[in-house]
Structure 1
Amino acid sequence: MLKGISESLNVLQRNQTVAPAPTAVPDVQTAKAPSRPFIPTHRLASYQKWAKATQGQHVISANQTAEQGLQKVSQLLKKLQIPLKNANSHSGLSEQQTDSAKQIQQQLMAIDISYQQQPLVDHQLNLINASRPAAKHFFQLKSVDLLGVKSRDERITVQYGNHHARAFLPAHQNSFYLAKQLTSAFKDIGITVQAPARESAMLSSDHKNWQHIQSGLLMSGQGQRLPAGEARTVKVIEILSWQDPKEWRFNNPQEVKKTLAKVVKSQQKVNQQIGELRSSQLKIQQQLKRASQQQLQHASVAQNMEKLDKLMQPTPFASQVTSLMAQANVSRDHVSSLLKE
């Protein structure tokens, strides 16, 4: 909807530009350029206000969608705390409690909160906005160390889906230099490299690319870090944050205790974000209300000006005298003589 409004505004603004004069053609009558409709400035302003109001309504709808989704998350987190708090301090969760906890965990992992195909909450249950981008997925390559110092140069290739990249890794260079080389080579395929981390390269990507990367990367090299010859699939290991429900474990009393603390902190974060959404929504509604009131005031002024313009015609008195003369059936000479007397 916003796109359509923007296109309409662009068309209207183009219509107000002056068309160039047609080029004269010998012995041919110059054709007149078709006249373009004139759009008053106040009407363009109305369209712009309409576009802003529509955009504000979209923001409110997105906030409401995010709030409803986070409320569902909060309910699931409360529900998950019940078996965790009731777990035996020595034996941990019973089989039934474990099944219940894992079922709730799966529901939290499967929640998709989006508006018009745009995600509003990331996989760590964080709100996504201009100042808070979605959390990235961090991962490492299984049994492959791209940042190891080698005595020979190596060229490697990486591929997943339709993305393909090549990187040159020189000999006798430290991990920081190699990480910069890899990041520069992989930036066009949505992969960032950080070093050093956990004795291996730590890579990251956004959620969209991760959907393809998590099944593995097709890689090949020259025998230093990767086998030479045909590309082979290298498995990836995701490095999970405590905020990600996938990281929560229920196998023993120690894990249950840690998971309970993570669930409680997650619920506090979710409740805080719900408060932020409500506050933001209230501010937007107030802005839209003020804009609507201003628009009504401008419309009232425009109507009054139009009425005043009709009353203040160039010769209102002459028009009235002419009307009276016609009704009295008298001539101008008669009126002049009457005025002289």
Structure 2
Amino acid sequence: MIHSVTDALQLAGQIRPISQSAPLLDMTVVNSTQESWRELLPYRQVAFERWERATRLQHNISAMQLVDAGFEEVLRVLERMRPLLLIKPSAEQFERLLSLQKQLQQLQPSYLQYPLWDPMFNIIYPRRRALRRRFRLKAVSLLEPKHREESLQLLLPGADGPQSLSLQLPANTDPSRLAQLINEQLAPLGISLNVENREAVFECDDQLWQQLQGNLSLSGQGMRLPAGEMHNIRLEELLDWRDPREWRFDSPEMLRQTRAKLERTARRIEHWRQDWQAQKQQVTSNLSQQLGEISLPPVDACFGSQLEALLAQANIGRGHAEDLLK
């Protein structure tokens, strides 16, 4: 946003007045007005830049406050789960555990329609790398060497319609080389491949994963897939231990592992909340300083009153401000 405001204001200072064949006003008055306008422009630009910094900081504080409140709710759910993991649960307790697990999955706070954390309770920062989804193909082994070359046809859903890709798998090639070739051919689609425990593990961003909806279409030539029509291949997502969907309660050993995961998750969240509380006072102080520089109401005032004060200070209307911010 700051670039748009800066560019708009700089452009306004570069535009020359339209020349007239005959002066409509006293040119002394016109020149004086133009000179005053040029002198005013830098101050208005500085005001908007300060407003942008203060607004961005205020949005960050609001988002972090929502994260803090959401994490507090996560800790409450974990606290209710903790005693149920100490002994083998009854049928009723097992259902209770599943219900609490579902609550953890549904706790997905957002700010201005942007999610604040991923399924593993990692905070999503604007410049952070997008969430990656890991998965493998069910009932298909692409890394198994074959004595004949095979061409696989891959069909993926896309925002502009299905995308088709032909995967060329040469004959008598070892799995590591096949993995390298497949990875190179899938890269344009935003999919990568790694070998883990001699299995092909694929990875894509969250947006593509949502489009796949747990399936993709493949056709082969009789080596790894039957020849002919497309086959719907199910995708199995590989979950991290920090994702509550991965937690299991079916046996004493699984209960023990889930207890350990729960405790580690609780410690991570508590550590973040302690850091946030330590930083909160300093961040709020910085915001008050930014608001003071642009003569806006204090931090506890509503955002609308702050914007009205800024517009009055800059001597412009809301419509003009919206045009500059486009």
Q: Work out whether 1:172 is the aligned partner of 2:168.
A: no
Q: Which moved more, 1:45-54 or 1:271-280?
A: 271-280
Question: 1:15 offset after TM fit, Å?
Answer: 1.0
Question: 1:129 offset after TM fit, Å?
Answer: 2.4
Task: Give the 3-state SS of the residue equivalent to 2:183 in structure 1.
Answer: helix
1:73-222 counterparts in 2 under 5 A?
73-85=74-86, 87=87, 92-129=88-125, 133=129, 135-162=131-158, 163-166=162-165, 167-195=167-195, 197-222=196-221
Question: 1:99 offset after TM fit, Å?
Answer: 1.1
Task: Give the 3-state SS of the residue equivalent to 2:201 in structure 1.
Answer: strand
| CA deviation map 1:173-224 (0-9, x unaligned) | 33333323323332343322112x2332101222232223343111122223
Check whether the contact 1:157–1:164 (CA below 8 A) recurs between aligned residues. Answer: no
Q: Work out whether 1:42 is the aligned partner of 2:38.
A: no
Q: CA RMSD in A?
A: 3.0
Q: Which amino acid aligns with 1:10?
A: D
Where does residue 262 of structure 1 map in the other structure? Answer: 261
Counterpart-to-counterpart distance in 1, 2:214 and 2:55: 41
Q: How many residues align?
A: 281
Task: Give the 3-state SS of the residue equivalent to 1:202 in structure 2.
Answer: strand
Structure 2 unpaired stretches of 5+: 25-30, 296-326
Percent identical across equivalent pairs? 28
Identify if the C-alpha distance between structure 1 residues 216 and 13 changes in structure 2 by more than 3 Å, giving closer, same or farther. Answer: same
Q: Which amino acid aligns with 2:50?
A: K
Q: Work out whether 1:10 is the aligned partner of 2:7.
A: yes
Q: Which moved more, 1:208-217 or 1:50-59?
A: 208-217
| CA deviation map 1:226-245 (0-9, x unaligned) | 33222110011122221111
Computing the radius of gyration from Cα coordinates, the structure with the larger value is 1
Identify if the C-alpha distance between structure 1 residues 191 and 279 changes in structure 2 by more than 3 Å, giving closer, same or farther. Answer: farther
Identify if the C-alpha distance between structure 1 residues 282 and 16 changes in structure 2 by more than 3 Å, giving closer, same or farther. Answer: same
- With a CA cutoff of 8 Å and minimum separation of 6, indicate the structure with the bigger relative contact order: 2
Structure 1 unpaired stretches of 5+: 23-28, 297-341
| CA deviation map 1:272-298 (0-9, x unaligned) | 2222333444343232233344556xx
Identify if the C-alpha distance between structure 1 residues 133 and 271 changes in structure 2 by more than 3 Å, giving closer, same or farther. Answer: farther
Identify if the C-alpha distance between structure 1 residues 160 and 281 changes in structure 2 by more than 3 Å, giving closer, same or farther. Answer: farther
Counterpart-to-counterpart distance in 2, 1:154 and 1:19: 67
Task: Give the 3-state SS of the residue equivalent to 2:270 in structure 1.
Answer: helix
Counterpart-to-counterpart distance in 2, 1:177 and 1:126: 34
Counterpart-to-counterpart distance in 2, 1:75 and 1:54: 32
Task: Give the 3-state SS of the residue equivalent to 2:14 in structure 1.
Answer: coil
| CA deviation map 1:235-281 (0-9, x unaligned) | 11122221111111111222112111111111111112222333444
Counterpart-to-counterpart distance in 2, 1:177 and 1:213: 26
Check whether the contact 1:109–1:245 (CA below 8 A) recurs between aligned residues. Answer: yes
Question: 1:225 offset after TM fit, Å?
Answer: 2.3
Where does residue 71 of structure 1 map in the other structure? Answer: 72
| CA deviation map 1:106-146 (0-9, x unaligned) | 11112212222222211112222267545422111011111
| CA deviation map 1:154-191 (0-9, x unaligned) | 32232232252423223333333332332333234332
TM-score scaled by structure 1? 0.73
Q: Which amino acid aligns with 1:136?
A: R
Counterpart-to-counterpart distance in 2, 1:83 and 1:229: 52
Check whether the contact 1:153–1:171 (CA below 8 A) recurs between aligned residues. Answer: yes
Check whether the contact 1:66–1:120 (CA below 8 A) recurs between aligned residues. Answer: yes
